[in-house]
Structure 1
Amino acid sequence: MTDNNLSKKVNFLIFYSIISTTFFLLFVVYLNIQKNKNLDELTVKRINIVDETGTNLRMVISNEVRQHPGIINGEKLKPRERPSGMIFFNSAGDECGGLVYDGNKNNAGMVLSVDKFRDDQIMQLQYMENTKNNARKYGLQLWDYPKENTNRERNKRFEKLDSINDKLLKKNEYQKMRLDSLLMEDRLFIGKNFNKDVGLFINDKTGNPRIKIYIDNNDTPKIELLDVNGKTID
């Protein structure tokens, strides 16, 4: 190889190195500008908000197709249909509540849920509507779980229910779940029911209505005290 050819190759490599380095630096500067740029509009299908480590979820904002199925007691739930909205996650990595919404020609609704630690929802600010017949329910809803740490067993039993086709057998198995204290019980609702009663409705720990203070659709104020069988206490 002549000195002239060698010199040409060296010069080419130097030129290539300078050009490559320049483009790389320009690319880094561009990324830095984009990182600190204020955006007026952003169109995405899902956003994951994570902690400072970049690995643990804190919030997911998503459409209905890409929505997170949830994590309870460290276990990611199976894929399921969930509405668009925001799902919140605590420092333990579990879902701890969310805001979801939807609406179509049949139904509409929006709920803000608060979950029990390592379990499902216990409180909701909710709006639900059957848009075909204009029937609506909205207000504050509270639930209780009779036993602690029943989420895993409850999910196993629900999976078993999904495999049962016989309606009567499925109903009996569901009732058994209630007898085994695996299901949440309605405790309180403040708002407007589907039957258009507006007021305060309190149930006992097994879900039986016990106190009703409300105004019915005819503007008649009522106070009802009920026993465990639903009969009025005089």
Structure 2
Amino acid sequence: MKSERFARIDAESLNIVDRDGTIRMTLFNNANIPPAMMDGKDFLPGHRQDWPISGIMFYNGEGDECGGLIFGSERREDGTYTSTASLTFDQYKQDEVVSLSYDNENGVLNYGITQRQAPYPAYGANRRGEANRRIGYGRGREEEGDREGVGREHAARVHGEER
């Protein structure tokens, strides 16, 4: 196999594929957000297409989306803004079951690690009725100052601990 070296490559989207052409990873910009693929089909048409994100999507050996790393921000003309980042891992033939995420909507923060029960409602009801479990999850406002403390207090409430 011949390899080539480049000092720099500019691309708007890049697919990493197996020898048979199966996409295993896609790097993308905001204009090239990949569809949510499962069994060779876009199972959520239009999903994420208007989100202000770029990132990396992961695909399993069958070409099904199995997680990703997304990040982005947007400042609107009226001065409001949103900023987000997440790393997710999907269960086989399901949506995400583990995520590490951060969202900021005009100074209102949500962040943490979430473990979701599957099957995820988008693909079938959770028959056991189990709730999502948030681990070290926080909420707060930027101007409150002690964002770390807000996260610790919220995590304690989620786990039923007294602070």
Tell me the TM-score normalised to structure 2 length. 0.73
Alignment of 1:56-71 (within 5 A): 56-71=22-37
Match of 1:144? 117
How many equivalent pairs are there? 142
How has the CA–CA distance of structure 1 residues 200 and 94 changed in structure 2, closer, same or farther, with 3 Å as cutoff? farther
Match of 2:6? 39
TM-superposition CA deviations, 1:164-210 (whole Å, max 9, x none):
xxxxxxxxxxxxxxxx548x9642112242242422465xxxxxxxx
Alpha-carbon offset, residue 137 of structure 1: 2.0
Contact 1:110 1:128 in 2 (8 A): yes
Say which structure is richer in strand: 2
Match of 2:146? none
Distance 1:110 1:62 in 2: 14
**Structure 1 unpaired stretches of 5+:** 1-34, 155-179, 203-210, 214-220, 223-234
TM-superposition CA deviations, 1:30-78 (whole Å, max 9, x none):
xxxxx7431111111000111012x211011111221111212443232
Tell me the TM-score normalised to structure 1 length. 0.53
In angstroms, what is the RMSD of aligned CA positions?
2.8
Amino acid in structure 2 at the alignment position of 1:124:
S
How has the CA–CA distance of structure 1 residues 107 and 185 changed in structure 2, closer, same or farther, with 3 Å as cutoff? farther
Higher relative contact order structure (alpha carbons within 8 Å, sequence separation ≥ 6): 2
How has the CA–CA distance of structure 1 residues 185 and 107 changed in structure 2, closer, same or farther, with 3 Å as cutoff? farther
How has the CA–CA distance of structure 1 residues 36 and 141 changed in structure 2, closer, same or farther, with 3 Å as cutoff? same
Amino acid in structure 2 at the alignment position of 1:98:
G
Match of 2:78? none
Distance 1:93 1:103 in 2: 28
How has the CA–CA distance of structure 1 residues 201 and 39 changed in structure 2, closer, same or farther, with 3 Å as cutoff? farther
Distance 2:11 2:133 in 1: 38
Say which structure is richer in helix: 1
Moved over 4 A (4+): 147-150
